[in-house]
Amino acid sequence: MPRASPGLALTRRVKGIQDHGTIISTKGVVKQFAAQSHVVGVDLDVEENETVAIIVPTGGKTTFLNILTGLYIPEEGRVFFRGKDVTNQKPGPGSPRGS
């Protein structure tokens, strides 16, 4: 089951499908805009065949997804895709984040 900052994520594991390990992982991700923090210290591990819902009261969901896809680079922390650090990679052809 993924680990996440309190109140950030809910997961449901799909039964009966073979696992191939962690697909995406974040460690200590922080993103700020104009001195206001939108994502603070997020640790998340998502295993293959898991469904994850991001649940927070206000703000941060879209920012966090933009970090996962490479549209935003976090001020702190790391993003991993299948064990490879992709924190500073933009999505695009040949990139693990894009096609």
pLDDT number for residue 96:
62
Answer yes or no: are the C-beta atoms of 79 and 31 closer than 8 Å. no
Instruction: Give the residue carrying structure tokens 């974040």.
Output: 26
- Angstrom distance (rounded) from CA 36 to CA 15: 40
pLDDT number for residue 73:
93
- Angstrom distance (rounded) from CA 7 to CA 80: 21
Local confidence pLDDT in tens for the 99 residues of the chain: 444 444 444 455 555 556 678 999 999 999 988 877 788 888 999 998 888 888 877 778 888 999 999 999 999 999 999 999 999 988 876 666 654
Task: Indicate the average pLDDT of the chain.
Answer: 79
pLDDT number for residue 95:
61
pLDDT number for residue 24:
92
Query: pLDDT over 70 for what percent of the chain?
Result: 74
Written in H, E and C, the secondary structure of 24-93 is EEEEEEEEEECCEEEEEEEEEEEECCEEEEECCCCCCHHHHHHHHHCCCCCCEEEEEECCEECCCCCCCC
End-to-end Cα separation, the chain, in angstroms: 28
pLDDT in tens, 14-35: 555 566 789 999 999 999 888 7
